[in-house]
Structures are given as C-alpha cells and as structure tokens.
C-alpha cells in the first residue's frame, strides 16, 4: 500500500514541476518562450517559413555602464531585444499578444525612447500595430521583428496552432478479434487533418499517404497474438503529436468453443522413441524384497519374465492319452531371458531368447510294451517372436497378432536314461510331445502375459491424465478462484519402424458449469495446425501452444478479468471504486526476436474505469501488459517463469473532468509497481502442471509374477522445455519401479 502511494506522489510531483520556466529541450514550445536578442541585418536573407526551428537568440547582456544622461547626444543602437506578452510556447489564433522592444548601445546601456518600426515574418502569419499589438492570422512559426534607426533589429519567435490535428481511426475497432481464412494483414483506415493545411500520418512508425480529403488506408502485417497499432498525426508544430493506440487480437485460425468449453485437437503429444526400448545394461534383481528402478522397457519385460511363476505360466499343461504316453509339466524355470523390442507400423515386435529354459516333468512312455518313466526335466534353448497390434477404438487397445516359437535345442534329464535317448531322437513321438509342451509354455506367456503388461501400463498411464483438475487461485483480494477440468483422450497413434511411437491426445478444457464469455468470443486463437515432430531421445512430449491459450481463454471466460479490486485508502479517496474488464482474453505468443524469453504473455485492452466519490462518471483507460514468459521444471512439474519487468502502458479513453484523475503514465507506473508483482506470483504458481506417477494394478501382473507387489511408472524431465514451432517440447525418460517381495 505504501509503495503505491509513494509512486503516485513522486509522479504527481514530477508533473507539477513542469512549468513555463523549464529549460528548452528542443521542442517548439520551449524554443518560442525564449526572447531573441541577436540583431537582424537589413540585408539578411528572408527567413524560410518552412524551417523546422530557429535557434533562440542570446539573452540580453545586462548593462554595466551608467545610465545615459537626458541631455547627452543620441547614441547608435547596437542591438534590440524583443519580448512577447504573454509569453507562451504555443498560441491559438484568438490569443492577444503584445510585443515590446528595448534598444541597447554598444556599451550595453538602454536607449530610452528609441523609435521602433514593427514587422512580421513571414508575411500573412500575423499583423502588428505600431504599438506592438499583434493579431494572429495563420498557423506555423513566425517572428515579431523590431528595427531602430541605423538598421539594428531584434526578433522574437512565436508558434501558432489553432488546434491539434484531427485524427479518426475507423478501422480496426478497439479490441477487435481478427484473422481466419486467408487474412494475413490488419487494415488500418481513418482520416486526419489540420487547420494549417499540413499533417503527416504514421502507422507504427511507417508514413502513410493521405488523399485530398485526408483519408488514409494501410495494411499492416499481422502477428499472432495481441497486435499494437499506433497511429500518429503531426502538424509539425504541436508537441507531442496526436496519438491513437489500438490493440487487436489476431490469429490465422480459431478453435471454436461452446458453453462448456473448448476441445483442442492434438493438444498433447507423447512420443516413445526406440532408444527407450533398447537394452543397454545388465538386469539385476535382488533375492530379497525391495524396489528396483529400470529405465528401459526391454529390461522391464525381461524382469517380468524372470519373475514369472512357473505354475501360473504353465497351468495344467500335459500331453498324451494316458495309456501309451503321459507327459505333464510340473514346473518351469525360464532362466536369463534376452529381450528385444522394436516399434513397427501397427504395433510392436518382440524377440525373446531363452537359452537355458528348464521344465520339470512327470509321466511315462510305453515302448514295445516297456514302460519308461518320464520323471525328471526338459532342458531347452528356444527363440520366440510375437507381434503386438496396437490401435485406438475410443481408447488404446493391445492384441497379439502373431506368436511363433523355434526350439533351438532340446534335451532330457530323466530318471530313466532311455527317456533321454528318445527325447534326443528327431521325429520320435516323445520328442514331438516335448517340443509341443515347451512351445506352448512360451506361447502362453507371450499370448497372455505380454499384452496384459503393455495394455495395463499404457492404459494406466492414459488413465492418470484422463481428467486433470486445474485450480487457479491468485490469492489476490478481488479475484475469484477458478476451477477448470482438463480431460485428455487419445486421438491418433503413429508407429514408425524401429523409430518411435507417437500418441496424440485431444484436450477438453471445460468449466464446472456452462458459462458465457464476457465479450465477443470466436474461440481459442490457433497459431498452427498440429503436426508430428521428429524422434528424440527416450520419452518426449509436445504441448501445443493452443493448450496453454485454451486454459487462459477459459480463465477469461470464467470472469477472472472482470473484477473490482480494493484500493489503498489514500487512492480510494480520489479514485473511488475501480472496475476492471478484460475485453480480450490473455494470450501467450512467440516472443519477438531478441527477447530473453521464448514466449510472451500478452494482456491487451484491459479496460479500467474509475468511479470517484460524488461524481456520476469517471475516467476510462485502456491498459496493455506484455511480459516475457518461459516454462521451467520444478520438482517434476512445469511452472511458468514470468518476467519481473513487464511492459505496461495505459491510454486515456474518456475523462469526466477537465483533467484525468491520474495521467496514463502514472497509472501505468502504479500497475507495474503494485499490481504486477501479485499477478506474476499468481501466474507462476497458479498454472503448475505435471504428470503424477502411475501405479499399474498389481493384480493383473501377479498372475504372471507373484513376487511383483507393485509397478509404478514415472516421467522424468531433466531440462527446461524448449519452444519449437507451435509446441512446447519436453525431453526426458521413463522410470519403472518394481516393488518385489522376498523369494
């Protein structure tokens, strides 16, 4: 509170200190105020009326000599000083001016009663009587010239301006929403004029031609976001030039909204690259219980195979008719699996090699009437292949498309050595049964367990982000907290051979109930259509800029920028109540070149209206705020990093009295010093997003591996996001934590 009063007081003191006695700064008003002293030679060249400015003459030298005695002989005048009364920097046509002249001799003494002849340059700008009384006739710069006998002359400059130039901006409308279709420019149209007959118009610093009636039109290149259009009309005399500032929101296209919210297509993009599947290191699982963190999916699948329970894996697996042969699997050990995973169009390919698989068996085999016991074990080395088909049908689903098993080596270790010989004989009935038993054991694992693992993991991951609440509470008095709902659903799946899997998700940003926008609302501004990105290392994600702007748009629709904030007591006494209304929704746009931040937060056409006590109406301002914006990773979550030095400007749209209660520049200073730090803190902490760890249902996994007590998938992002095209790009990886029970 005290800081805002100090800023206001300082600004008011500075304003009060600007009077007619200020030093000249080079503008017409300062130059005209200083009396001229240098004499004009009779034969001097005429003064150019179109000259930009004429340097004022030196101040008169105070006479040091004694005054001239009345009876002394007349002295020759050395110079003449001309002064104007009243002394002003700028005169209107109906102002009454009286010129006076004082002649000095070469000793710097005043010559009393010196006869003066008056003239005005250039002719036609004014008339002057022998008494020095002037009548102004035209606009521009002029000089009152006084000459005495002997040819010494003096002059005083004056500037005449009947009124400031007229300026009317007809297009675009203030706070307009533009774009769509093939429109890539913003048309600025209006008219300007001046009583002096000369006026120049510029739009964003670019000169604009006027027709005979003073009309002008120019097409300005549009930029995504809030476009600031500054139109000036300059007659070359009055300073500062007449200025009109307009802000409009432009986008090449708009995403429509309804009463419940907006749907942003392809708002979020998750990409798993082949590097995330490749196995680079050894797999070590502790015999005791505890947690194991793996960062490659091939290692995760290998761990599940090692943890697989043989009884669960095999079930009631047996071959034979019971009389001539009976071969039953009583248990199994898969050994150390070697797993390779590859992305392919339509799904994934899985290659598994089990070099030392062991199946314990029981049963018998009758050969030529002799019963041979099959109690013992089968030792096998085999390779397996499975293709997983992945698709979207409202949600992601995974199916096994093909499973094949090739037995590289098979040997028996039975109680009866005769059984070992039969297993080693190709084409024998017992070997065929042993191969079938071994193959079906692995096919059951790949056909049932593998898709369950992939499906449960991905579905759980998507389920965790299916609905994300967004709580925005700026903790600023006068602001109402806003609760939004962000729902993400898969909309596109693209798999590239041995490269990547890209999953696009649509975002639905909604309110708790139906709301209506406070002003015209064509939808969420769209910078570019969604498009795929190239592969990256491990896990990467892309967040469309439209998702951020969609959230800001819904915050605006919820009325967060329509408020009457409380004022400090000292300000309330003069301003009364203040109402704020955001005509345009806030927008995040690519930052201009040279900015220290990749993005820029733009709040344009923020109307501020004062309601002073004992007054029916107050002053109305248009506020514009721009601030650099970045995104940083804090504790696994993404937060906005907002510049501490915003660009705040204010324009006076209407004033109730002779003067505005606050000059626009003072109001802008107050907003930057008092209000912005609170908004900065609210933006940085209020729009924090992140992916919480995903816990896969352990029941679905314990059917394969009973030791597995839990499986948690966490995202890992090490660097702050970058901005590419229309995406905020995230790079990182996945950590899969296995909670194991002791053996």
pLDDT digits (tens, 9 = 90+) for 590-603: 998 888 888 999 99
| 521 within domain boundaries | no
288 compared with 403, residue with greater pLDDT: 403
pLDDT digits (tens, 9 = 90+) for 537-547: 667 778 889 99
Residues 6+ apart with CB under 8 A from 460: 694, 695, 696, 697, 713
580 compared with 28, residue with greater pLDDT: 580
Which one, of 692, 735, 691, lies nearest residue 713 by Cα?
735
329 compared with 690, residue with greater pLDDT: 329
Residue 638 has pLDDT above 80, yes or no: no
C-alpha span between 328 and 375 (Å, rounded): 9
**Of the listed ranges 107-116, 287-296, 360-369, the one predicted with least confidence:** 287-296
Residue 72 has pLDDT above 60, yes or no: no
Compute the average pLDDT of residues 559-585. Answer: 81
Pair 307, 451 in one domain:
yes
Joined tokens for residue 130: 């022998």
| 478 within domain boundaries | no
pLDDT digits (tens, 9 = 90+) for 692-709: 777 777 676 676 677 888
pLDDT score at 430: 82
Residue 38 has pLDDT above 70, yes or no: no
Q: How far is CA 182 from CA 225, 252, 263, 584, in A?
A: 17, 8, 23, 22
- Among 420, 440, 462, give the residue marking a domain's end: 462
pLDDT score at 572: 76
pLDDT score at 202: 96
| 551 within domain boundaries | no
- Beta strands, E only, 418-538: 467-472, 482-496, 500-510, 524-526
Residue 416 has pLDDT above 80, yes or no: yes
Instruction: Note the Cα 440 to chain centre separation in Å.
Output: 56
Pair 207, 304 in one domain:
no
**Of the listed ranges 81-85, 148-152, 647-651, 728-732, the one predicted with least confidence:** 728-732
**First and final C-alpha spacing in the chain:** 66
Sheet strand arrangement including 225-234: 177-179, 242-251, 225-234, 200-203, 206-208
| 504 within domain boundaries | no
446 compared with 433, residue with greater pLDDT: 433
Pair 180, 81 in one domain:
no
H or E element in which residue 49 lies:
none
pLDDT score at 12: 29
Kindly report whether the peptide bond that precedes residue 457 is cis, defined as omega within 30 degrees of 0.
Answer: no
Using a pLDDT cut of 90, give the percent of the chain over it.
28
C-alpha span between 699 and 693 (Å, rounded): 18
Mean pLDDT of the chain: 79
Pair 369, 434 in one domain:
yes
Q: To 10 degrees, the CA torsion angle through 473, 474, 476, 482?
A: -40
**Of the listed ranges 399-403, 469-473, 515-519, the one predicted with least confidence:** 469-473
| 6 within domain boundaries | no
Residues 6+ apart with CB under 8 A from 146: 80, 82, 99, 101, 116, 117, 118, 153, 154, 155
CATH number at residue 317: 3.15.10
- Among 440, 462, 484, give the residue marking a domain's end: 462
565 compared with 377, residue with greater pLDDT: 377
Q: How many CB atoms lie within 10 A of CB 178?
A: 17
DSSP assignment letter at 546: H
Compute the average pLDDT of residues 147-170. Answer: 90
pLDDT score at 670: 84
pLDDT score at 47: 36
382 compared with 574, residue with greater pLDDT: 382
| 728 within domain boundaries | no
- Among 417, 437, 462, give the residue marking a domain's end: 462
pLDDT score at 15: 32
Task: Report whether 709 contacts 292 (CB < 8 A).
Answer: no
Residue 37 has pLDDT above 90, yes or no: no
pLDDT score at 97: 96
pLDDT score at 691: 66
Pair 177, 141 in one domain:
no
Residue written as token pair 């006026």:
199
pLDDT score at 442: 78
Compute the average pLDDT of residues 125-134. Answer: 95
Pair 360, 455 in one domain:
yes
Residue written as token pair 């964003």:
204
Compute the average pLDDT of residues 574-586. Answer: 87
Joined tokens for residue 552: 């800001």
Range of the domain at 381: 277-285+294-462
Pair 63, 128 in one domain:
yes
pLDDT class of 685 with cuts at 50, 70, 90: low
pLDDT digits (tens, 9 = 90+) for 287-329: 777 888 877 777 777 787 777 766 665 667 787 777 888 888 8
Pair 182, 111 in one domain:
no
Pair 86, 38 in one domain:
yes
Query: How many domains is the chain partitioned into structurally?
Result: 4
pLDDT digits (tens, 9 = 90+) for 711-720: 887 777 766 6
Residue 651 has pLDDT above 50, yes or no: yes
pLDDT digits (tens, 9 = 90+) for 174-186: 999 999 887 899 9
- Beta strands, E only, 209-241: 215-221, 225-234
pLDDT class of 133 with cuts at 50, 70, 90: very high
pLDDT class of 558 with cuts at 50, 70, 90: confident
Pair 176, 33 in one domain:
no
C-alpha span between 146 and 201 (Å, rounded): 37
Pair 298, 422 in one domain:
yes
| 264 within domain boundaries | no
Compute the average pLDDT of residues 367-394. Answer: 88
| 511 within domain boundaries | no
Pair 598, 676 in one domain:
yes
Compute the average pLDDT of residues 73-89. Answer: 86
């Amino acid at each position: 509170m005290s800081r805002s009063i100090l800023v206001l007081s300082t600004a008011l003191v500075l304003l009060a200190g600007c009077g007619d006695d200020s030093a000249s700064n080079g503008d017409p008003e300062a130059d005209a105020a200083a009396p001229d002293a240098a004499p004009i030679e009779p034969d001097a060249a005429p003064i150019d009326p179109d000259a930009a400015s004429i340097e004022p003459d030196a101040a008169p030298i105070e006479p040091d000599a004694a005054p001239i005695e009345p009876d002394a002989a007349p002295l020759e005048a050395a110079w003449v000083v001309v002064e104007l009364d009243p002394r002003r920097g700028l005169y209107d046509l109906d102002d009454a001016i009286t010129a006076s002249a004082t002649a000095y001799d070469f000793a710097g003494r005043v010559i009393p009663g010196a006869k003066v002849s008056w003239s005005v340059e250039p002719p036609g700008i004014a008339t002057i009587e022998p008494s020095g009384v002037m009548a102004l006739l035209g606009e521009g710069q002029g000089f009152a010239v006084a000459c005495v006998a002997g040819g010494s002359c003096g002059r005083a400059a004056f500037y005449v301006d009947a009124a400031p130039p007229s300026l009317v901006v007809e297009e675009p409308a203030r706070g307009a929403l533009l774009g769509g279709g093939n429109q890539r420019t913003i048309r600025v149209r209006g008219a300007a004029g001046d009583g002096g007959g000369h006026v120049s118009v510029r739009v964003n610093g670019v000169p604009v031609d006027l027709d005979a009636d003073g009309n002008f039109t120019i097409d300005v290149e549009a930029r995504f976001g809030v476009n600031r259009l500054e139109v000036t009309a300059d007659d070359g005399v009055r300073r500062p030039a007449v200025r009109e500032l307009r802000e409009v929101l432009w986008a090449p296209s708009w995403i429509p909204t309804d009463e419940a919210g907006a749907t942003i297509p392809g708002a979020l993009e998750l990409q798993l690259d082949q590097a995330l599947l490749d196995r680079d290191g050894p797999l070590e699982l502790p015999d005791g219980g505890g947690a194991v963190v793996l960062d490659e999916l091939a290692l995760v699948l290998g761990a599940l195979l090692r943890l697989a329970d043989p009884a669960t894996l095999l079930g009631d697996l047996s071959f034979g008719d019971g009389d001539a042969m009976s071969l039953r699997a009583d248990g199994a050990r898969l050994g150390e699996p070697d797993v390779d995973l590859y992305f392919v169009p339509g799904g994934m390919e899985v290659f598994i090699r089990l070099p030392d698989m062991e199946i314990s068996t029981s049963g018998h085999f009758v050969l030529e009437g002799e019963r041979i016991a099959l109690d013992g074990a089968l030792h096998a080395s085999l390779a397996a292949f499975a293709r997983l088909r992945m698709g979207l049908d409202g949600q992601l689903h995974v199916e096994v498309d093909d499973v094949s098993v090739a037995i590289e080596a098979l040997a028996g270790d039975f109680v009866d050595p005769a059984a070992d010989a039969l297993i080693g004989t190709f084409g024998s009935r017992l070997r065929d049964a042993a191969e079938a038993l071994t193959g079906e054991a692995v096919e059951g694992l790949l056909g049932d367990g593998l898709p369950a693992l992939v499906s449960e993991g991905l579905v759980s991951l998507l389920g965790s982000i299916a609905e994300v609440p967004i709580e925005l509470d700026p903790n600023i008095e006068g602001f109402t907290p806003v609760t939004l709902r962000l729902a993400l659903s898969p909309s596109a799946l693209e798999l590239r051979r041995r490269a990547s899997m890209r999953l696009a998700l649509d975002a639905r940003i909604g309110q708790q109930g139906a709301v209506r926008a406070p002003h015209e609302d064509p939808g969420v501004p769209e910078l570019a259509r969604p498009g795929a990105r190239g592969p990256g290392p491990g896990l990467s994600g892309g967040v469309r800029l439209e998702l951020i702007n969609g959230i800001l748009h819904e915050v605006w629709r919820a009325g967060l920028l329509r408020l009457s904030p409380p004022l400090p007591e000292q300000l309330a006494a003069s301003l009364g109540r203040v109402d704020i209304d955001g005509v345009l929704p806030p927008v995040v746009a690519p930052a201009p070149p040279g900015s220290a931040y990749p993005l820029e937060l733009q709040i344009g056409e923020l109307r501020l209206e004062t309601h002073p006590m004992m007054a029916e109406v107050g002053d109305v301002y248009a506020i514009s705020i721009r601030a650099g914006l970045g995104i940083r990773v804090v504790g696994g979550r993404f937060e906005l990093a907002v510049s501490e030095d915003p660009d705040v400007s204010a324009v006076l749209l209407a004033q109730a009295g002779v003067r505005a209660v606050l000059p626009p520049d003072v109001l802008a200073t107050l907003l930057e010093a008092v209000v912005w730090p609170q908004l900065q803190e609210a933006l940085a902490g209020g729009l924090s997003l992140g992916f919480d760890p995903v816990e896969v249902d352990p029941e679905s996994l314990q059917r394969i591996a009973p030791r597995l007590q839990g499986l948690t998938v966490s995202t890992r992002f090490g660097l702050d996001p970058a901005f590419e095209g229309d995406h905020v790009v995230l790079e990182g990886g996945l950590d899969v934590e296995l909670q194991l029970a002791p053996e």
